[in-house]
């Protein structure tokens, strides 16, 4: 079958393309504003990419068009598909019908930590020899790309609450029918499609309705937004996760720099995890991953040992270079909570003697709309200096975020000049954006590689 994917360079759709290719289909796709790491991954897989959404890219007609949720009516390719009567579907529907029907689905949902936790679960199962399939909304380090069919019984999927397609406004995850479900946390996000938190909670309620009675829900211990969803109905087994002894799975002791912690199950200490990640948010992610792996037969000790070797995920506090002793990190920030927990984790790792400089582009739909502007200032408390990038098209003025340790810049070259003048050996530079940030990462590394 010849499949054309509209929006192929999105993290989900790109991963879908890899699965379709592995199933033996001829796969191609269209997108705009293509940038790594997904474009690089697709090219390496031999998948043809078409720039833009021209109807000519759909000639001759493919057997099936998979339409990404970023596509809307008025898009030339979408209009051509509808006018010509070409068979089409959504990405989540295709995944559910083609790949997931016969697998034990482990779904990772929640506002934060989905990509990292999904990668951890896939990594643990792989290390345990279970040969899982997986689809991850990012590029994990140490695994063979962001998606793989796998030959084992389990399939691990990042379960996003964003809507499915222009013709299906349900959340993606209602298609997946998991048997093991993780809800990491729940906050207001995606303001472009959800009017309030209650609307998101309704979608999570619908997800719980698909979990069988023999299935398992793993959820945070006493988190009000999640508890409100559970109060509307839960027909499955459940186990809680948290930092307190009352949780079914909990964190015990934590090393001074956060590089080690103990895991407890119903009060019984199972052992230590020594690893390269940091931050309370990642310890919670690890707890969920261990519990999910145990549910499908992995021994706890085996799961914890696997996490000591977990290499992480691209663009999740990823160290991309250390020119002149200055550590530069790339992070896929999209929400004040994610910004705060990442900065806090880095602070715990490096201590108080090193400066942390945060460089942030508020780029997600929700951030661009200004929904979280009141909490952004507090989110960067762990940084010594903050640069906010005022990109064109941002719906609000970042000037309110300026202060003694924060400044707003609307020109990339000016931003590079200020960083180059400021930075010195030992500094930790954290670049946070869910886009390419106009190539800032590489341009900064190139500048810092030259003597001042």
Residue 372 has pLDDT above 70, yes or no: no
Query: Position of tokens 């990442």?
Result: 342
- Integer CA distances (angstroms), 334 to 11, 268, 326, in order: 14, 36, 24
Q: Which of 378, 312, 304 is nearest to 343 (CA)?
A: 378
Among the four given CATH numbers 3.40.50.1360, 3.30.1240.10, 3.40.1190.10, 3.40.50.970, the one describing domain 102-307? 3.40.1190.10
Q: What is the pLDDT of residue 218?
A: 98
Residue 38 has pLDDT above 90, yes or no: no
Q: What is the mean pLDDT of residues 200-228?
A: 97
Q: Which of 248, 257, 291 is nearest to 277 (CA)?
A: 257
Q: Which of 117, 99, 94 is nearest to 107 (CA)?
A: 117
150 pLDDT band (50/70/90 cuts)?
very high
Q: What is the pLDDT of residue 95?
A: 98
User: Are 122 and 155 within 8 A, CB to CB?
Assistant: no
Q: pLDDT tens for residues 401-438?
A: 877 899 999 999 999 999 999 999 999 999 999 878 88
Query: Which structure tokens are listed for 399?
Result: 């000037």
Q: What is the mean pLDDT of residues 13-31?
A: 95
Q: What is the pLDDT of residue 367?
A: 66
Q: CA 237, CA 220: separation in Å to the nearest integer?
A: 14
- Average pLDDT of the chain to the nearest whole number: 92
Alpha helices in 369-439 (DSSP H): 373-379, 412-422
Among the four given CATH numbers 3.40.50.2000, 3.90.190.20, 3.40.470.10, 3.10.105.10, the one describing domain 318-448? 3.90.190.20
User: Are 95 and 135 within 8 A, CB to CB?
Assistant: yes
Q: What is the pLDDT of residue 233?
A: 97
Q: What is the pLDDT of residue 368?
A: 62
Residue 149 has pLDDT above 90, yes or no: yes
Q: Where does CATH 3.40.50.720 sit in the chain?
A: 2-90
446 pLDDT band (50/70/90 cuts)?
very high
Residue 317 has pLDDT above 90, yes or no: no
Q: Where does CATH 3.90.190.20 sit in the chain?
A: 318-448
The DSSP annotation for 168-194 comes to: EEEEGGGGT--SEEEE-------TTT-
Q: What is the pLDDT of residue 371?
A: 62
Q: What is the pLDDT of residue 365?
A: 65
Q: pLDDT tens for residues 346-371?
A: 998 899 889 999 999 987 666 666 66
Q: pLDDT tens for residues 83-99?
A: 999 999 999 999 999 99
């Amino acid at each position: 079958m010849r499949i054309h994917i509209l929006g192929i360079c999105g993290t989900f759709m790109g991963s879908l393309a890899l699965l379709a290719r592995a199933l033996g289909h001829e796969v191609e796709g269209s997108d705009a504003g293509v940038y790594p790491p997904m474009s690089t991954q697709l090219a390496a897989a031999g998948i043809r990419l078409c720039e833009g959404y021209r109807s000519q890219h759909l000639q001759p007609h493919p057997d099936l068009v998979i339409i990404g949720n970023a596509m809307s009516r008025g898009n030339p390719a979408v209009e051509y598909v509808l006018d010509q009567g070409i068979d089409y579907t959504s990405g989540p529907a295709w995944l559910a019908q083609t790949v997931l029907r016969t697998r034990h689905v482990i779904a990772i949902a929640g506002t934060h930590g989905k990509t990292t936790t999904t990668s951890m679960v896939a990594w643990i199962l792989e290390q345990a020899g279970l040969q899982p399939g997986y689809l991850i909304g990012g590029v994990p380090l140490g695994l063979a790309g962001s998606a793989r069919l796998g030959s084992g019984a389990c399939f691990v999927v990042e379960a996003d609450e964003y809507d499915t397609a222009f013709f299906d406004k349900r959340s993606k995850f209602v298609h997946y029918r998991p048997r093991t479900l993780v809800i990491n946390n729940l906050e207001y996000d995606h303001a472009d499609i959800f009017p309030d938190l209650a609307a998101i909670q309704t979608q999570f309620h619908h997800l719980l309705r698909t979990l069988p009675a023999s299935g398992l829900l793993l959820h945070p211990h006493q988190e009000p937004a999640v508890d409100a969803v559970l109060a509307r109905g839960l027909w499955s087994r459940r186990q809680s996760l948290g930092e307190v002894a009352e949780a079914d799975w909990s964190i015990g002791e934590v090393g001074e720099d956060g590089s080690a912690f103990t895991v407890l199950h119903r009060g019984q200490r199972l052992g230590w995890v020594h690893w390269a990640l940091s931050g309370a948010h990642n310890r919670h992610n690890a707890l969920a991953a261990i519990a999910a792996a145990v549910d499908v037969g992995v021994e706890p000790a085996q799961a914890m040992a696997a996490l000591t070797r977990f290499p992480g995920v691209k663009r999740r506090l990823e160290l991309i270079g250390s020119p002149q002793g200055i550590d530069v990190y790339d992070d896929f920030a999209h929400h004040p909570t994610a910004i705060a927990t990442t900065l806090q984790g880095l602070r715990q790792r490096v201590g108080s003697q090193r400066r942390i400089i945060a460089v942030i582009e508020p780029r997600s739909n929700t951030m661009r709309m200004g929904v979280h502007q009141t909490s952004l200032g507090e989110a960067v408390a762990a940084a010594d200096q903050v640069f906010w990038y005022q990109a064109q098209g941002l719906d609000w003025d970042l000037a309110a975020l300026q202060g003694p340790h924060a400044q707003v810049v609307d020109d990339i070259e000016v931003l590079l000049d200020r960083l180059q003048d400021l930075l010195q050996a030992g500094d930790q530079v954290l670049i946070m954006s869910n886009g390419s940030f106009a190539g800032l990462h590489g341009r900064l590394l190139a500048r810092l590689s030259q003597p001042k």
